[in-house]
Amino acid sequence: MTGVALRIETCGKTFADATRALEPVTLTIAPGETVVLLGPSGCGKTTLLRIIAGLETPDRGGRIVFNDKDVTHVPIERRNVGMVFQSYALFPNMNVAENIGYGLKIRSVNASERKKRIAELIALTGIEGLEHRRVDQLSGGQRQRVALARAVAVQPSVLLLDEPLTALDAALREKLRGELDRLLRALGITTIYVTHDQSEAMALGDRIVVMRKGAIAQVGTPRDIYFAPENRFVAEFVGAANIIEAVCEGGALVLPGGALPLANGTLDGPAFAMIRPEAIKLVAAGGARLHGRVDSVSFVGDRQRASVGGAAGKPILVDVPNTMAVSVGDKIGLSVEPGAIRLLPGDPT
């Protein structure tokens, strides 16, 4: 099964009551790629997914193209998309096998071929033995697998997943995330995955599209998004981040508690600097260029998170190795690699 290239051209969406759910968005997705639409609720990610599916039509001027074929006006039932809903939307009047085989039945695939295909999908998603169960007798994880098997049974051009793991508890979510990742890679279907969970986005996405207020805030690989956010919104939404308002002067970030050297070629002037807590090292106060005082420490198992006051205009979060002795009131030094300091535009967006 080879993936389909997907092009979204200036697709915006204004609802009948004049609410603007989506600003015109343009995005190209490579065959077989998994793209995650990530953002808080109401950011337009589900609307964009529904436009790709054919459940909503974009405003005038918007186009959805599958492999050079314009499908903007092709209804969902003829678009050949696989869709997994947050609620799974399993048909309650059909058992597991009938649910998985429904798309094949609609396509008039004969009974023996259908049976073979259902058996393959049941094996692929690891739900052997549940074929004749009613869907209300399934656990959340089993439902999720049935929904996925049903969606890929028809060999869709594009697989669309709308928060498929959100309804599950944390441990199961993590387990299924791994399974889902393997499955998507094995199938090679072009996939759009909607979530508000950044760790899910990081784990599954070849690329992540961070959305905010109906517009794209940044598109990039998980590493791009994490290490090189283009604005404060992305920096704060993905992972923990210290956003420090400061002044760049003579190649250093000047702060109340001292200064941090910046990468070469940084222009002077006021700036917002982003530093991830794990990029900051606690060092001995003597000889350090930036000083502060430990305000609080919490031990979280794999590391300790300290809040350091006095160094910048507001407390700085620092990840400290879990074996390091550090206590409240310690006067300490802070050191950061110049490359780990990311300067962001002053605009909060």
Partner 1 sequence: MTKRAFVQLCLLPLAVVVTAFFVIPMARLVLIGASGSQGIGAYAAILLEPRYRETLLNTIILAAATTVATLLVATISGLFLQRHRFPSRALLVAMLTLPLAFPGVVVGFLIILLAGRQGLIGEITSALFGTKEVFAYSIEGLFLGYLYFSIPRVILTIMAAAEKLDMSLEEAARALGAGPWAVHRDIILPALMPALIASGAIAFATAMGAFGTAFTLATDIDVLPMLIYTEFTLSANVATAAALSIGLGLVTWAILALARSYGGNAAAASG
Question: Which listed residue (97, 135, 176, 288) binds partner 1 by CB under 8 A?
Answer: 135
Closest to partner 1 by CB, 138 or 280 = 138
Question: Which listed residue (5, 65, 74, 76) binds partner 1 by CB under 8 A?
Answer: 76
Question: Which listed residue (81, 152, 238, 334) binds partner 1 by CB under 8 A?
Answer: 81
Backbone angles phi, psi at 64, to 5 degrees: -115, 125
Q: In angstroms, what is the minimal distance from the CB of 160 to partner 1?
A: 8
Q: How far is CA 226 from CA 41, 113, 165, 238, in A?
A: 20, 46, 22, 7
Q: In angstroms, what is the minimal distance from the CB of 99 to partner 1?
A: 9
Say which residue the tokens 């961070």 belong to.
Answer: 210
Beta bridge partners of 65: 7, 70
Closest to partner 1 by CB, 94 or 215 = 94
Site for partner 1 in 210-239 (CB under 8 A): none
Closest to partner 1 by CB, 150 or 276 = 150
* Three-state secondary-structure class, residue 324: coil
Q: Of the ranges 31-39, 84-92, 138-146, 166-174, which one interacts with partner 1 (CB under 8 A)? A: 84-92
The answer for 233, left when phi > 0, alpha when psi is -120 to 50, beta otherwise, is alpha
Closest to 208 measured CA to CA, from 198, 221, 195, 199: 221
* Three-state secondary-structure class, residue 183: helix
User: If residue 215 lies in a helix (H) or strand (E), which one and from where to where?
Assistant: strand 215-220
Site for partner 1 in 85-114 (CB under 8 A): 85, 87, 89-93, 102-103, 106-107
Q: In angstroms, what is the minimal distance from the CB of 89 to partner 1?
A: 4
Q: In angstroms, what is the minimal distance from the CB of 91 to partner 1?
A: 6
Say which residue the tokens 């549940």 belong to.
Answer: 130
Closest to 192 measured CA to CA, from 328, 291, 51, 73: 51
Neighbours of 240 (CB within 10 A): 12
Q: In angstroms, what is the minimal distance from the CB of 211 to partner 1?
A: 21
Question: Which listed residue (40, 75, 250, 346) binds partner 1 by CB under 8 A?
Answer: 75
* Three-state secondary-structure class, residue 180: helix
Strands 158-162 and 81-84, bridge-based pairing: parallel
Neighbours of 261 (CB within 10 A): 17
Closest to partner 1 by CB, 81 or 130 = 81
Question: Which listed residue (83, 201, 235, 306) binds partner 1 by CB under 8 A?
Answer: 83
- Number of chain residues interacting with partner 1 (CB under 8 A): 28
What is the distance between the alpha carbons of residues 291 and 334, in angstroms, rounded to a whole number?
6
Closest to partner 1 by CB, 50 or 342 = 50
Site mask for partner 1 (CB under 8 A), range 136-175, x = bound: x-------------xx--x-----x---------------
Q: In angstroms, what is the minimal distance from the CB of 175 to partner 1?
A: 24
Q: In angstroms, what is the minimal distance from the CB of 231 to partner 1?
A: 34
User: How many C-alpha atoms does 130 have within 13 Å on its Cβ side?
Assistant: 23
Closest to 44 measured CA to CA, from 30, 61, 27: 27
Closest to partner 1 by CB, 55 or 283 = 55
Strands 269-275 and 242-249, bridge-based pairing: antiparallel
Q: Of the ranges 23-31, 73-81, 179-187, 285-293, which one interacts with partner 1 (CB under 8 A)? A: 73-81
Positions in the binding site for partner 1 (CB under 8 A):
53, 55, 75-78, 80-83, 85, 87, 89-93, 102-103, 106-107, 134-136, 150-151, 154, 160
